[in-house]
């Protein structure tokens, strides 16, 4: 059973096959996919990515949520915990569709995911793998209290991705407003 999280403006629920059309449309946009897949995803690639996100919950017991706006049910994107085999740590990641950029939704949902992760997972730190050119995601990381760490790269789906590993420790998170004791 995938837990549902709610924030002031958002509902975070488990990914479902019915999310495919909205997810595929989002990932087909060059500006959305630029830092995630290096290029827009085909429908087949989006299918595999969504299937992987659903399977992540089965394999790890946690994963990324589908994010919808409470006021009208609009598909906003996905946010949550990412940690496939070979990953440098438990990541809090976010991908929002272009109409929702600049709304604060990424920070709102990622903060909820971060809180859930620290309350349920035995980790000393959480990371966010961010492309060095992705200034918007770097700003989200700063608002979440993350600090820029080492430069690295990830190979995923046969593609190499340059990343900076942003992170926050459990102790740093506990000191932030809204964190649980």
Tens digits of per-residue pLDDT, 87-116? Answer: 999 999 999 999 999 999 999 999 999 999
Q: Determine the pLDDT at residue 159.
A: 78
Q: How far apart are CA 139 and CA 123, in angstroms?
A: 24
Contact 130, 31 (CB under 8 A): no
Domains of the chain as residue ranges with CATH: 5-174 (3.40.630.30)
Model pLDDT for residues 35-52, shown as the tens digit of each residue: 987 789 999 999 999 999
pTM reported for the whole predicted model: 0.95
The pLDDT tens digits along the chain (181 residues) read 899 999 999 999 999 999 999 999 999 999 999 998 778 999 999 999 999 999 999 999 999 999 999 999 999 999 999 999 989 999 999 999 999 999 999 999 999 999 999 999 999 999 999 999 999 999 999 999 999 999 999 987 777 889 999 999 999 999 988 776 5
Question: How is the beta sheet containing 10-13 ordered, strand by strand?
Answer: 5-6, 10-13, 64-69, 75-82, 91-96, 125-130, 159-169, 147-156
């Amino acid at each position: 059973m995938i837990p549902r999280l709610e924030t002031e403006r958002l509902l975070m629920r488990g990914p479902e096959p019915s999310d495919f059309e909205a997810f595929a449309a989002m990932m087909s946009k060059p500006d959305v996919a630029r830092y995630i897949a290096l290029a827009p995803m085909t429908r087949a690639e989006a299918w595999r990515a969504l299937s992987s996100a659903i399977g992540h919950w089965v394999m790890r017991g946690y994963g990324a949520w589908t994010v919808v706006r409470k006021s009208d049910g609009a598909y906003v994107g996905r946010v949550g915990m990412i940690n496939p085999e070979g990953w440098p740590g438990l990541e809090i990641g976010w991908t929002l569709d272009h109409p929702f950029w600049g709304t604060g939704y990424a920070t709102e949902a990622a903060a909820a995911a971060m809180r859930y992760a620290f309350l349920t997972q035995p980790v000393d730190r959480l990371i966010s793998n961010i492309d060095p050119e992705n200034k918007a995601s770097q700003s989200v990381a700063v608002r979440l209290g993350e600090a820029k760490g080492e430069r690295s790269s990830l190979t995923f789906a046969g593609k190499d991705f340059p990343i900076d590993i942003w992170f926050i420790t459990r102790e740093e998170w506990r000191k932030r407003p809204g964190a649980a004791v």
